[in-house]
Amino acid sequence: MESHPDLHHLNERLGVDIDPGTLRLALTHRSFAFENGGIPTNERLEFLGDAVLQLVATESLFLDNPDLPEGRLAKMRSAVVNTRALAAIGRGLGIGEFIFLGKGEELTGGRDKDSILADTVESLIGATYIGCGPEDAFALVHRLVDDMLCDAVQLGAGMDYKTTLQEAAADLALGPVSYALDSRGPDHARVFTATVLLGDTEWGSGEGTSKKNAEARAAEAAVRTIAVQHPDYRR
């Protein structure tokens, strides 16, 4: 069996103490389970973690924004509780290196796929709920998403970062939005890099396994830069 990173390091990154068995289950992708005799997968924990994540994000937005209508709150929650945003969290924590993947997923870049990273973040939240209790699980969600919730409130959070960036760039007269694209690697594992330009100025960049994902991550980086440089702006 191939060597695998010490799962204790992942607990440290998350700031929790999930027991080894539950943590390993949370990291077991269905491709690995299939190749190893149909062992349990992380999908039940993912189901639980999604519910915990939705509750914490909803409660935070509801309590922190008493004057905002339901529709606006729902859009802001969607900007945070979605596959791309959760994948960015997982990527930032380096979760990909800990996932137990089947050989096929491994060969096609599964450790950096948005869907796999996002699902694993949710399963880790579920594992924390089961292994450490609701209080620790809620605290973990706050650590993971509070900054993004603040960005969502500040920038208005359209349904995606590209939309939000277009609106913010227009409102602040920062110039037209365009994307410069580059790529590297073989056709079956190509990685794209996108750089956001507002007028002639670079505002952020991002990588992905498709042009769409790279542009979305670049737009997110630009949105965060706008939040820092224009702290009083709010749609």
Feature table: binding site = 46, 119, 122
Contact 25, 33 (CB under 8 A): no
CA dihedral 143, 148, 153, 157 (to 10 degrees): -150
Query: C-alpha distances in angstroms, 189 versus 12, 37, 105?
Result: 31, 28, 11
Binding residues for Mg(2+): 46, 119, 122
User: Which of 105, 114, 122, 215 is an active site residue?
Assistant: 122
Active site annotation includes 202? no
Cα 47 from Cα 53, distance rounded (Å): 10
Cα 103 from Cα 126, distance rounded (Å): 25
User: Which of 50, 105, 151, 215 is an active site residue?
Assistant: 50
Cα 5 from Cα 1, distance rounded (Å): 13
Active site annotation includes 182? no
The tally of CA atoms less than 13 A away on the side-chain side of residue 221 is 20
Q: Which residues are catalytic?
A: 50, 122
